[in-house]
Chains A and B, each alone.
Chain A
Amino acid sequence: MKEVAAVFQKEWRAEVRSRHGLFTAGLFSVLAVVAMSFAGYGLRPSGSLAAGMLCVTLLFSAILALPRTFLIEDEQGTFDLLRLIGEPGPVFVGKTLYNIVQMLVTGALLGTVFLALSGVEVRSGPLLVAGLGLQCVALAAAVSLCGALVIGASNRWVLAGAVAMPLLLPQVFLGVGALRVALGEGMSAGGWQSVAGLAGFAVAALASGPLIASAVWREE
């Protein structure tokens, strides 16, 4: 646990100093929402459409911002040092936890700005919070692993996105299933079923990610 906390603290300090990851993800999210509301000026999207737009923006925000925590170590040449100092598993967990926090902040910001600008009414607050929160956790866990896998590739930034995208599509589907109900369409039971699916994905990704990442890193 000490190593995990140390890696998390390191990431947090680096973020406080450079304000790069959160700032980029936040700016991208706000810009994407403003662009969408500008494109649909005067129109109020239906619950399904609003949920789809919100989830896709969240997906691109995750792909854009999250692999950075791993790839920046590779670019700065500090990845080997990090692995010498800590065990691969705790290093991965620490970075993934930081990514989850970053994604939750981004999700909260994105959701607030989106609801304010689109004028969509919220029918179920708890479902919205649960759906958005669990999707952020599931996205962060999966993108973190993809970021860890592409370390060493020449086109790692593009590859991380390309490799992560198809793995995240089922989570986007479940996220849309939960948020569309929260935003006024469909049956409540279906929304909570999607939340349960998202929770399953998040748990599976969080449980398998550290094992796979540490097995992959150990050999190199």
Chain B
Amino acid sequence: MKRLANPYLFGAVVVATIVSFALPDADSFRVPSLARIIFWHLPCAFLTTGLVFLAAWFGLRYLGSRDTRWDIRGAAALELGALFGALTMVTGILFSKVQWGEWWQNDPRQTSFLMVLLILAAGLSLRAGLSDEKKAASAGAGYALFSLIPNFFLMFVFPRLPQVRQRSFHPSETIQTGGFDGAYWTGILVVFACLAWVTFIVYRLRVEAGELTVRAEFADGNREADRGSAAPDRMVRPVPVPPGGGD
């Protein structure tokens, strides 16, 4: 936690907060002052996208090498991806209520991002459902890799389909067409930099905690082995004994 109490990081967060409030209101929105929600909404979505790809990359590395370090990194990326996905949803729902009048509009873009979040949640659920750590690691890696296909579709293809663009309130080409003015880009990038910094620190902490757990389990196993009472690596099941003993 000491790393999160970094004075430079604290200063950057203060600057990001000041910049986001100092920027002029976006007059084209229904509630111009609250258009600032996108300063948080967009960076959270960018980070989710990056973490989804990172989890798939670590999954690929794990399946290729069987090195536990890649599994720990993949799990950390998946967990943080789910966290930022949830934050994207929350900020999006707030924006929807404030600017469009409804908490949930059944907007295709809202629904597609909810699907991405559900895929991330299913990945976490798969890891939690397998008690054998090696099986959980390999199944989690395989799932992260395979889920890249629907995630890519939901994040990049689906929002740009003509029938979706016609029905959606959510803009899809704002960045590509230069729809944000320079001042708004400044706000988004400053908040993105702060969030990416925090994400990196939390990611490093999660990876270190995972590696320490593996090392502690390994050392514990060695101590047990030294005492000659190592736990067997196979399950022992009771067997029926015939009457009069088993001799």
Contact = CB atoms under 8 A, between A and B. Distances in A.
Decide whether A and B are members of one complex.
yes
Interface of A: 142, 145-146, 149-156, 159, 162-163, 165-167, 169-171, 173, 177, 190, 197, 201, 204-205, 208-209, 212-213, 215-216, 219-220
A99 to B, nearest CB: 16
B143 interface: yes
Contacts of B175: none
Interface residues of B, number: 33
Given A159-B125, A173-B158, A220-B138, A167 B131 contact: no
Interface string B110-147: 00000100110111011001111011001101110111
Contacts of B64: 215
Contacts of A162: 122, 125
B143 A149 contact: yes
A154 B138 CA distance: 16
A190 B150 CA distance: 20
B177 to A, nearest CB: 23
Name A's interface SS.
Answer: helix
Given A167-B150, A204-B149, A220-B135, A159 B126 contact: yes
- Going nearest first, the 10 A-B pairs with the smallest beta carbon separation are A166-B118, A215-B63, A153-B129, A216-B142, A166-B119, A149-B139, A216-B138, A212-B142, A159-B129, A152-B135
A150 B145 CA distance: 15
5 contacts: A150-B126, A163-B125, A166-B119, A169-B118, A219-B134
Contacts of B162: 190
A181 to B, nearest CB: 11
A26 B240 CA distance: 42
Contacts of B30: none
Contacts of A177: 163
A145 B66 contact: no
Given A150-B139, A167-B147, A209-B146, A216 B130 contact: no
A205 B158 CA distance: 18
Given A152-B135, A166-B115, A170-B115, A201 B149 contact: yes
Contacts of B129: 150, 153-156, 159
Nearest to A149: B139
Interface of B: 63-64, 66, 115, 118-119, 121-123, 125-126, 129-132, 134-135, 138-139, 141-143, 145-147, 149-150, 153-154, 157-158, 162-163
A205 B141 CA distance: 16
Nearest to B154: A170
A72 to B, nearest CB: 18
B149 A205 contact: yes
Nearest to B132: A152
B60 to A, nearest CB: 9
Nearest to B119: A166
B131 to A, nearest CB: 7
Given A162-B122, A216-B141, A170 B150 contact: yes
A145 to B, nearest CB: 6
Contacts of B118: 165-166, 169
A212 B145 contact: yes
A208 B135 contact: no
B134 A215 contact: no
Contacts of B121: 166
Given A169-B118, A173-B158, A208-B146, 18 more contacts: A149-B139, A149-B142, A151-B135, A153-B129, A153-B131, A156-B129, A163-B126, A166-B122, A169-B150, A170-B153, A170-B154, A201-B153, A205-B149, A209-B146, A215-B63, A215-B138, A216-B63, A219-B134
A163 B136 CA distance: 13
A213 to B, nearest CB: 7
A169 B115 contact: yes
A151 B135 CA distance: 9
Contacts of A142: 146
B65 to A, nearest CB: 10
